[in-house]
Amino acid sequence: MKVYSFPRGGIYFEDSTVPAKDSSVIAFLPGLSVIPLVQHTGSRAYPIVSVGDYVKEGMLIGRGQGFGSTNIHATVPGKVIRMVSRKTTDGQISDALVIRLEGAFEKLGKPEEVFSWQGLSPFELQRLISEYGIVEMEGTGYPVSDMLSGLHSAREPLTLVVRCVFDDPWLAADYVLCRERLKAVVEGSVILARAGRIGRIVFAVSRSEQALGTSLLAEAESWDVSSSLILVGSRYPQRNRRELELVLRLYEKREEIPLGSLLILGPATLAAVHDAVKLKKPILDRYVAVGGAAVKNPQVMKVRIGTRIGEIFAECGGFVDKPKRIASGSPILGRAVADLDEPIIKTSYAVFAIPESRLGGTFARRCIGCGECRSVCPVGLDPEELFKIAQIRRNRETLATLAAECHGCGCCEVVCPSRLPLSTTIADAALRGN
């Protein structure tokens, strides 16, 4: 079967400190859950419970306010003991409700009640997706209901792309979820296709996981929807929207399959759509890859939203070495956490801790003009030149024009022997307009 890959740049990224992707373990329930009111792209959800109130598992506790915002639910039963405000590493203030675990669970440990959805209209399906606060869990937390609303005006064919592209080993949790909840991922895809009046589903799967792609396609064939499989390269950043859409358009041309407008979503999001519509359940937990060289026993864990990452590391045996860097996401583009009390949220797919001995030095040196950054840029830019322009703050128009093409994949920073913050500096300068 032909493999489609973007033509230039990129890197092959490997990391021996990633947890094994053969199975998951269920994390302990947190005694205290910290539920942020912002787990999405828009404004914070408005709290509809107060300190002292008792809440049930799955109960609505924060109502979304406008476009980009979505509902927030309690992930455990208990008492709201306080509202806290935390300053994140990017300088934003995040409000959160702290729930002390008490009482009986509504869903955990109970037989799942299954609801029939085939007779529901697209509008009713979209309402359920909105009601249960489903967001793009592999990205920035953009509400899926808002994505569907944006499709209503489309005048061309629509295709749902199920992105099972594992170009980064820290996507181990998504891979395990795909394996353990394959039927839910596929049925969630079919539900979303119905909700968005989407005519085709394409499973985009890394070439090394062809067996997974075959299983996904075989499951989809039991549903009345057009579906197909495309194998893509495993070179990072193949899963980025630009690189993935590039190969999809090539596939469209060579296979003569009209794809039209693309809605690209990952397996965690689609499993959540399944749970919202078929089980009437909000996002209560998610698969998280926990690892790094400082962690004793890395593993993929199924973690309740609101669990503090310090508790997750403790369940993995704690630290074998004092961590110098603790972050959420992949080491390439990971976001440093403020402290170990930061909670797992809907978009947390990995957390890691790295000791100083594995960082290879923390101070940037002078550029040696090796050209490695140019060779790996998938867009064909010259990160060295843009970095120097950003530093001297000249040629602002040139910087703004070229930097707009950079999508911040971070490849240039990974290969730079001088450890220069290339893509970070370019992106910051572009945002400042200088």
Q: What is the pLDDT of residue 1?
A: 85
Query: What is the predicted pLDDT for the residue at 386?
Result: 86
Residue type, 82: R
Distance CA(151)–CA(170), nearest Å, equals 31
Q: Which of 278, 303, 321 is the last residue of a domain?
A: 278
Q: Which of 80-94, 308-322, 353-367 has the highest mean pLDDT?
A: 308-322
State the Cα–Cα distance between residues 77 and 56, nearest whole angstrom. Answer: 4
Q: How many residues does the chain have?
A: 434
| Burial per residue of 2-16, b for 16 or more beta-carbon CB atoms within 10 angstroms, e otherwise | eebbbeebbbebebe
pLDDT at position 394: 64
Least confident window among 2-6, 134-138, 147-151, 181-185: 147-151
Does residue 291 sit in helix, strand or coil?
A: strand
Kind and range of the H or E run holding 126 = helix 122-131
Judge whether 305 and 339 are in contact, CB under 8 Å: no
> Is the pLDDT score of 89 beyond 70?
no
Q: What range defines the domain where residue 165 resides?
A: 3-15+112-278
Residue with tokens 């094994």: 20
SS3 for 262? Answer: strand
Which of 278, 296, 322 is the C-terminal boundary of a domain?
A: 278
* Together in a domain, 117 and 244: yes
* Band of pLDDT at residue 431, cut at 50, 70 and 90: low
Domain edge (last residue) among 278, 299, 316:
278
Number of H helices, E strands in the chain: 13, 18
Is residue 411 in some structural domain? yes
d(CA 151, CA 127): 15
Distance CA 369, CA 366 (A): 9
What's the pTM value of the predicted model, to 2 decimals? 0.94
> Can you state the percent helix, strand and coil of the chain, rounding each to 5?
30, 25, 45
Predicted pLDDT at 139:
86
Give domain status of residue 196, yes or no.
Answer: yes
Same domain, 144 and 264: yes
Instruction: Indicate if the pLDDT at residue 432 is higher than 80.
Output: no
- Interval 39-52 mean pLDDT: 95
pLDDT of residue 365 exceeding 80, the answer is no
How many domains does the chain fold into? 2
The predicted-structure confidence for 187-237, as pLDDT tens digits, reads as follows: 999 999 999 999 999 999 999 999 999 999 999 999 989 999 999 999 999
Is residue 96 a part of any domain in this protein? Answer: no
Give the pLDDT score at 188: 98
Q: State the CB neighbour count (10 A cutoff) for residue 241.
A: 14
pLDDT band at 292 (very low <50, low <70, confident <90, very high): very high
pLDDT value at residue 109: 85
Nearest to 239 by CA among 332, 135, 375: 332
Average pLDDT, rounded, for the chain: 92
Q: Is the pLDDT of residue 81 over 90?
A: yes
